[in-house]
Chains A and B, each alone.
Chain A
């Protein structure tokens, strides 16, 4: 069984997007700074493959996950990546109410809770890991003790304002075990295992 891994780029002061993020500007004001560890883009997703070895390793792992879970907000912002984040793996979206119109590709809205969503995504991914993306859903999974790992791209910048990854997580410490650190000029890749309480 694969693991549920959160992939998020975060500034040292904890932000994952600049202020005033919306559908037209999903990263918020100057938020693209956090994604400079990726390649410049271009032909399809491979254009985002970073040039330095450490970042490339993380990118390749992300791209070999067998399913994606994304929050409704994140998903709506990016149009569910046109229904295909990578390799056509299914995209699961925990939500209270599925939208009236179904987006293209393999996007599955799950309305019976976060636990069920993770279960379905893991089943679909088989032996491969499940990639999780989105701050709200990350916190839901952390609170429900469903998250297995965090892969944080810690970007050497202070944003000052914007949207935080860890906000209102609530009482109770969650212990982490650092299992791998990869250094690149553009980001420090921190991999943690979430310790069971």
Chain B
């Protein structure tokens, strides 16, 4: 089996990945930093450290345009200089992203290039918009959801416009770290 294209996202129990009004200068939305508290424990020997190390061992990154911009384009390097493929609707003339990042406008092309670049390692996906685009296209293999025990009450949702077909999942791993439950799902397809 090929190494998977895997989404990594922190989400509150009510489905939010950022607080309300996320924008430049307030990237995580109002009080949205709450869902990332578990990352304080990213260096531990426990589950939180394990999941973080797995994430950092991926061989390529697929990001949405919005996430990419809010993250300051990661100064062109998300981790270890692995290639970053940024799915976008529009590429402005002369806008060349820094470092190992590049823009891609087609979702299939994006997945294919990332898979090839990652070789025998997994591809990390980050961003709600791009996750939904990959899911709709049937190109996402797995999701590692960091489920945070809080109700944010509002903000930006991870799953917002997926369309009418059910997408069946299978829970393949569950790790419980301090302050977070890491749920790994395999995407089984639509029905």
> Which stretch in A12-20, A48-56, A90-98 binds the other chain?
A12-20
> Which stretch in B47-55, B101-109, B150-158 binds the other chain?
B150-158
Indicate if the CB atoms of B13 and A161 lie closer than 8 Å: no
Indicate if the CB atoms of B153 and A173 lie closer than 8 Å: yes
Does any Cβ of B come within 8 Å of A136's Cβ?
no
- Residues 139-191 (chain B) with a chain A CB within 8 angstroms: 145, 149-154, 157-159, 162-171, 174, 176, 181, 183, 185
- Tell me which residues across on chain A come within 8 A of B20, comparing CB atoms: 171
Indicate if the CB atoms of A173 and B169 lie closer than 8 Å: no
Q: How far is A157 from B169 in the complex, measured between Cα atoms in Å?
A: 5
When C-beta atoms are compared, the residue in chain A nearest to B165 turns out to be: A160
Q: Which of B15, B153, B159, B170 contacts A170 (CB 8 A)?
A: B153
Indicate if the CB atoms of B185 and A12 lie closer than 8 Å: yes
Q: A181-B176, A192-B149 are in contact. Are A13 and B166 (CB under 8 A)?
A: no
CB distance from A31 to the nearest CB of B (A): 10
- Tell me which residues across on chain B come within 8 A of A160, comparing CB atoms: 159, 162-167
Indicate if the CB atoms of A158 and B169 lie closer than 8 Å: yes
Size of the chain B interface, CB-CB below 8 angstroms = 32
Q: How far is A173 from B168 in the complex, measured between Cα atoms in Å?
A: 30
Most buried by B among A158, A165, A172, A173: A158
Q: A158-B169, A160-B166, A166-B15 are in contact. Are A178 and B149 (CB under 8 A)?
A: yes
Does any Cβ of A come within 8 Å of B27's Cβ?
no
Does any Cβ of B come within 8 Å of A7's Cβ?
no
CB distance from A191 to the nearest CB of B (A): 11
- Tell me which residues across on chain A come within 8 A of B151, comparing CB atoms: 142, 166, 169, 173-174, 176
Q: A158-B166, A175-B149, A183-B174 are in contact. Are A12 and B154 (CB under 8 A)?
A: no
Q: How far is A190 from B148 in the complex, measured between Cα atoms in Å?
A: 12
Does any Cβ of A come within 8 Å of B117's Cβ?
no
Q: A14-B15, A159-B166 are in contact. Are A175 and B150 (CB under 8 A)?
A: yes
Does any Cβ of A come within 8 Å of B135's Cβ?
yes
How many inter-chain residue pairs (CB < 8 Å) link A and B? 94
Q: How far is A174 from B149 in the complex, measured between Cα atoms in Å?
A: 9
Indicate if the CB atoms of A33 and B166 lie closer than 8 Å: yes
When C-beta atoms are compared, the residue in chain B nearest to A170 turns out to be: B153
When C-beta atoms are compared, the residue in chain A nearest to B145 turns out to be: A12
- Tell me which residues across on chain A come within 8 A of B34, comparing CB atoms: 173
Q: What class of interface size applies to chain A in its complex with B?
A: 35 or more
Q: A160-B165, A171-B153, A174-B151 are in contact. Are A14 and B159 (CB under 8 A)?
A: yes
CB distance from B190 to the nearest CB of A (A): 9
Q: How far is A81 from B168 in the complex, measured between Cα atoms in Å?
A: 30
Q: A14-B14, A158-B162, A160-B167 are in contact. Are A171 and B149 (CB under 8 A)?
A: no
In addition to A14-B15, A173-B151, A183-B171, 12 A-B residue pairs with Cβ atoms within 8 Å of each other are A12-B169, A142-B151, A158-B159, A158-B162, A159-B166, A160-B163, A160-B164, A164-B15, A165-B14, A173-B152, A176-B149, A181-B176
Residue ranges of B at the interface with A (Cβ–Cβ < 8 Å): 13-15, 20, 31, 34, 135, 145, 149-154, 157-159, 162-171, 174, 176, 181, 183, 185
Offer 24 A-B interface pairs, CB within 8 angstroms, sorted by A.
Answer: A13-B15, A19-B164, A30-B166, A142-B151, A156-B169, A158-B162, A158-B167, A160-B162, A160-B166, A160-B167, A166-B14, A169-B151, A169-B153, A171-B20, A173-B152, A175-B150, A176-B13, A176-B149, A178-B149, A178-B176, A178-B181, A181-B174, A188-B174, A192-B13
